[in-house]
Each structure stands twice: as C-alpha cells, then as structure tokens.
C-alpha cells in the first residue's frame, strides 16, 4: 500500500489538475478496509476510485481518494460456459484482450471502454449491442465498515440502462472487489450496431468484431492520454413511444432505438450535433468535433469550464427537442459525489 500527496491529474481521464488531501493506492481488500475505517475515525471524507474514467472533479477533494488496484484473473470452465473471476482493479480493455488471446469470446463488442473492471457493473457498461448484464454472473462487494464480503448475483445487481444497485443501496460504504463473468462456449456474434452490420454473421470471428469496434472507437473518440475526456458525457435519453413519435414527425432522420418496455432510446450525440455544437467551447472545455457526445479538456480546462459547457449543451438540446440530457459522468465535489443533473440544470 502506498500513500501519496499530489495532484489527481494522473487519476482522472479528464486530466483535470484537481488536488486531494490524500491518495492511497490499495491492492487488497484489507488495505481498503483499513483506509476507510481510519478516514472515518479521523472524520475525513473518502472517495473510492478506479481509473477515474467516469468522474469529473468539480474542485479540490478535501479527503482521501482510495484507488482500487485489486488484481487477478481466474478462469474455470463448465459444460456450457467459461467462468471468469476478475479483480476489480484490472483494466477493462486489457481483460477483453486477455479473453480473446485465450480463445474466450463474448466481450469483443465492449473493447476500448475505459476504466477498471470494478467500475463496469456500476454503470452497466455497454456498447454496440452488448451490456455487462449480458455476461455478468456475480459481483463481490466489500462492506468497508465490517470487512465482510458479499456476493450478489447478476439479478440482485438490478442492472438497468447505465444503472445498477451500486448507484443506490451499495453506493456508500461498499467497494466492488471482483466481478464474475460467464462467457458462452456457443458464441453468437452481435453485429447489429454501427459498421458491425456490414460483417457476415456466418463467417465473422470475435477478433474481427474486436478490430472493427476498436477502429470505430479510435476514429470517433479522442484518446484521453492526449486529449482529456471521460468518453460519453451524457446518457442516451430514453423517452416514451408518444414523445418519440412526435420527434420522428419533426425529425424523420433521427436515430430511434425501440426498447423492450415500449420506450424508445434516442442518440444523445445526434441531438447535440443537430444543435450545431460540435467544436463549441467555454473556457478550456469543448464539444468534440468528431463525436458530439464527448466533452473534452481542450486547453487546461477546469471543472467549472466543463460544467458550464454541459449546462449549455443541455439547455440547447432541451429547448430544441424538449429532451433533457443527463450526465453519465459522476460529479465529485470537495466532500464527495454531487447530483450531476442538479449541478448543470
């Protein structure tokens, strides 16, 4: 366990130069429990962090940032599945590459999603027709007050669109320490989104899907190591069938994705783009020119710059379409997480 006193810039993909009173990198559950309990005893706030790929620091953090680096990948097989037990501190994209190298298919659509494995169930990450809930078997959580470990089944995780029980009941006082995945041996390719529809379902391989997804993401999304960003800043809004019908009458070229519950998912990037916001800047923050769904740290942006930009985007989309975007990114204030919608409303 190492303790550091320095900038949070290496720990958030927006590359914001926020500061923390203390930063601790933990490699075991015992270390996490110790730091959590000591922080509470010292009456200091504590923030759990993976790779900081889905956070926006609004200001300096006044407590301890506890960075989860619990690693390890174990694989076992059953008659129908490959079962993986993955430490929460493993890098998600590295895991996708690892499975392909081992001949285990099922994660290829989720290539290049930034962040740690432990963050994947919180957001129920998804891309190109696949969500974590489709492959998740269980999530192991650590009660930081007692040190006890509990295993939640995928059903108990209450996965929704960019949502889970980890944003609610288990948001505070618990840490995800491992994720269990089940990958079907009888692999069925998912090629229903983007350029994947051009692939031949009869001949396509997992590696070809992986390569296509990587190409699409790198051609549209900025590399956070070069240009600070947190990927998709806003959730794709889900509206009623009635509201979707009204929008379709006004904007027949808009993308619409019917959901199983009768509602319709819209493309937030398309909505932002139709408000002519690509390249729009406030301070050091900007709307990315290739993908309007991404807000970037263009030139030494502050958290306040990005908040102001997000507010302007939300207002313009809301005024034009009567659809009010919600951030996918977590907003972190001086003492902890804040309601992102409330901040930018």
Active site residues: 162, 232, 328
Cα dihedral: 327, 328, 332, 337 (round 10) = 100
* Backbone dihedral region for residue 201 (phi beyond 0: left; psi -120 to 50: alpha; all else: beta): alpha
Cα dihedral: 117, 120, 126, 131 (round 10) = 90
Distance separating alpha carbons of residues 120 and 137, to the nearest angstrom: 13
* Radius of gyration of the chain, Cα coordinates, nearest whole angstrom: 20
DSSP codes, 139-184? EEEEETTT--EEEEETGGGT-BTTB-GGGTTTSSSEEEEEEEEEEE
* Backbone dihedral region for residue 72 (phi beyond 0: left; psi -120 to 50: alpha; all else: beta): left
Alpha-carbon distance values, 101 to 97, 206, 207, 222 (Å): 6, 11, 9, 26
Q: Are 334 and 60 in contact (CB under 8 A)?
A: yes
Q: Are 230 and 55 in contact (CB under 8 A)?
A: yes
- Among residues 184, 131, 137, the alpha carbon closest in space to that of 157 is found at 137
Alpha-carbon distance values, 206 to 129, 187, 345 (Å): 14, 9, 42
Distance separating alpha carbons of residues 344 and 16, to the nearest angstrom: 18
First to last CA, the chain: 40
């Amino acid at each position: 366990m190492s303790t550091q006193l320095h900038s949070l810039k290496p720990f958030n993909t927006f590359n914001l130069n926020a500061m923390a009173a203390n930063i601790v990198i933990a490699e075991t559950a015992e270390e996490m429990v110790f730091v959590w309990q000591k922080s509470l005893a010292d009456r200091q706030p504590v923030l759990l962090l993976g790779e900081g790929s889905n956070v926006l620091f609004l200001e300096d953090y006044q407590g301890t940032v506890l960075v989860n680096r619990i690693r390890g990948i174990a694989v076992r097989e059953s008659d129908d599945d490959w079962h993986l037990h993955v430490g929460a501190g493993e890098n998600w994209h590295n895991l996708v590459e690892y499975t392909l190298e081992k001949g285990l298919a099922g994660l290829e659509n989720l290539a290049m999603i930034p962040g740690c494995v432990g963050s994947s169930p919180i957001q129920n990450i998804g891309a190109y027709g696949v969500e974590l809930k489709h492959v998740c078997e269980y999530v192991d959580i650590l009660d930081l007050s007692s040190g006890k470990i509990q295993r939640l089944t995928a059903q108990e995780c209450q996965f929704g669109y960019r949502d889970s029980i980890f944003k609610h009941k288990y948001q505070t006082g618990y840490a995800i320490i491992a994720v269990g995945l089940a990958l079907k041996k009888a692999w069925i390719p998912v090629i229903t989104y983007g350029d994947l529809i051009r692939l031949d379902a009869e001949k396509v391989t997992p590696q070809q899907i992986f390569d296509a997804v990587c190409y699409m993401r790198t051609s549209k999304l900025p590399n956070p190591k070069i240009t600070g960003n947190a990927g998709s800043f806003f959730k794709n809004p889900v509206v009623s069938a009635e509201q979707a019908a009204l929008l379709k009458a006004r904007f027949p070229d808009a993308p619409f994705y019917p959901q199983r519950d009768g509602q319709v998912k819209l493309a937030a990037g398309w909505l932002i783009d139709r408000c002519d916001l690509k390249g729009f800047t406030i301070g050091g923050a900007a709307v990315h020119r290739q993908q309007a769904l991404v807000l970037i740290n263009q030139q030494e942006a502050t958290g306040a710059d990005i908040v102001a930009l997000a507010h302007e985007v939300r207002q313009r989309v809301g005024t034009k379409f009567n659809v009010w975007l919600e951030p996918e990114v977590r907003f972190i204030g001086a003492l902890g997480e804040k309601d992102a919608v409330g901040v930018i409303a």
